[in-house]
Amino acid sequence: MAKFLLTSLLACAELCAGALFGSLDRPIRWRDGRLVLYFSREVHLPSGASGVLPSESAAEVHEALHAAIREWNEAGRAAIAISAELTDSQAAAGNTVTFTDPRPFDEGRCDSRTAAACALLTWDAATGEMLSASIAFNPYLRHSARGRDGATDIRRVMLHELGHALGLDHSGLPGSIMHGDVHRADLNADGQAAPVLAPTDILTLSRLYPPADGMPARIVGVLELDGAPLAGAHVVAANQEGAAVCDTLSDARGRFEVAVEPGYYTLLARPPAGLTPAQAGVILAGPFPALVREPVEALPGSTTEVSLTGRGGEAPSLDWVAVIAADGRFQGGPEAVLARGRSYRLLLHRSPEAGDFEIGFSSPRIRLTAPVQPVAGIPGWPGTLLLRLAVAADAPAGSYSILYRTANSVAVLPGSLRVTDPATGQQ
């Protein structure tokens, strides 16, 4: 299955110093929440050797783009209005969506080898007001409106790039459309197409574009490690079921903010492994033991202030997880998609590989069914573990985390187990 990265290129209309993408001080957003895009009428390259599949019509491609727009418009938690018109322009400028313009990739603004598409954004550095947002699909790769194998899925890629065009940076939760990796399609445990927008996508957008009745609830706070602000840490909020529902990065002063539905949450802060911000220059924290605080109550329409503090020391990490298929094959990635009511064999990579440890899950409805075993013979991955687990039939759909505990610290792979309904693929 083809795997590509989703990227964005951000540029200030003035000097960019201090204007972080989606920062707490100056979020980057459209002033009135309205975005008009212009779809290039021409979507095929003359040679047909790359780009959109020749067998798919421009109408099909435009419908896939419109479908992505509808999904964001109908998410229901943000005051936005996205619309689109057709244009004869094939240049990635002035809010256009193109499939045939190679210049952003030839000029090095976007990676022609790995970027499925690129969002080209400009904004006013003084106010954070978005000025333009063009989306260029990579003409050197294959794209499909029908989700064909060996091609990127146009609707899914468009959903991601639209998130950037609205002002969202990358998410560290694998189930989020704003995660930096994209596959051909988003499939559940039975190979069925699953919904794409995750709670963190919808809630984070509501921070930028609050609805008329206000955001449901906010949790704000500060992280400290050894008495100093902890910048660039990945902060995740998990609900009472243990599902990771929202995430963000702490800023240069260790501050963070997440939008959540009212309720009780567990907050954790971890190193941002696997999270690559779209905005260049963002500070990322180095290794540190995960910080955990629970419970935190978020009240309707209010702001809850918290702090998470800890000390440096041993910092184990979890790198990837993979489901072992019936034929013994596996593909490591940011998440494993599981159907409720079923049992699985999983591979989990941890480092360092030595030392005593315990494995657990953020939901009691996911449990180990046998002792964890080390796995030998996987080249380059000496710290791999074999997990046998079962997902309860009544496990709520959602993205759950793997917890790795040693004598002195905790590591977390947040949102790495996505539980779905085996019949519908709903999450």
CA 246 – CA 261 distance, rounded (Å): 10
**pLDDT tens digits, one per residue of 312-347:** 887 888 989 999 988 888 877 888 999 999 999 999
| pLDDT band (50, 70, 90) for residue 7 | very low
CA 122 – CA 283 distance, rounded (Å): 21
Residue 242 has pLDDT above 90, yes or no: yes
How many whole angstroms from its chain centre is CA 353? 27
> What pLDDT does 135 receive?
96
Query: Considering the entire predicted model, what is its pTM?
Result: 0.88
CA-CA-CA-CA torsion for 86, 87, 90, 93, nearest 10 degrees?
-100
Residue 61 has pLDDT above 60, yes or no: yes
Q: How many CB atoms lie within 10 A of CB 28?
A: 28
> What pLDDT does 323 receive?
93
Token pair 């419970």 is found at 295
> What pLDDT does 278 receive?
74
Output 90 or 314, whichever has higher pLDDT.
90
How many whole angstroms from its chain centre is CA 244? 12
> What pLDDT does 195 receive?
52
How many whole angstroms from its chain centre is CA 365? 24
Concatenate the DSSP letters of all residues of 299-334 into one string.
Answer: -TT-EEEEEEEE------EEEEEEEPPTTS----BS
CB 89 within 8 A of CB 135: no
All domains of the chain in start order, with CATH: 3-197 (3.40.390.10), 214-310 (2.60.40.10), 317-420 (2.60.40.10)
Output 113 or 35, whichever has higher pLDDT.
35
Range in 26-30, 96-100, 231-235, 249-253 the model is least confident about: 26-30
Which amino acid is residue 241, in one-letter code?
A: E
**pLDDT tens digits, one per residue of 177-226:** 988 775 444 444 444 445 578 899 998 898 889 888 877 899 999 999 99
How many whole angstroms from its chain centre is CA 69? 18
> What pLDDT does 188 receive?
43
> What pLDDT does 275 receive?
77
Which tokens belong to 302? 């209010």
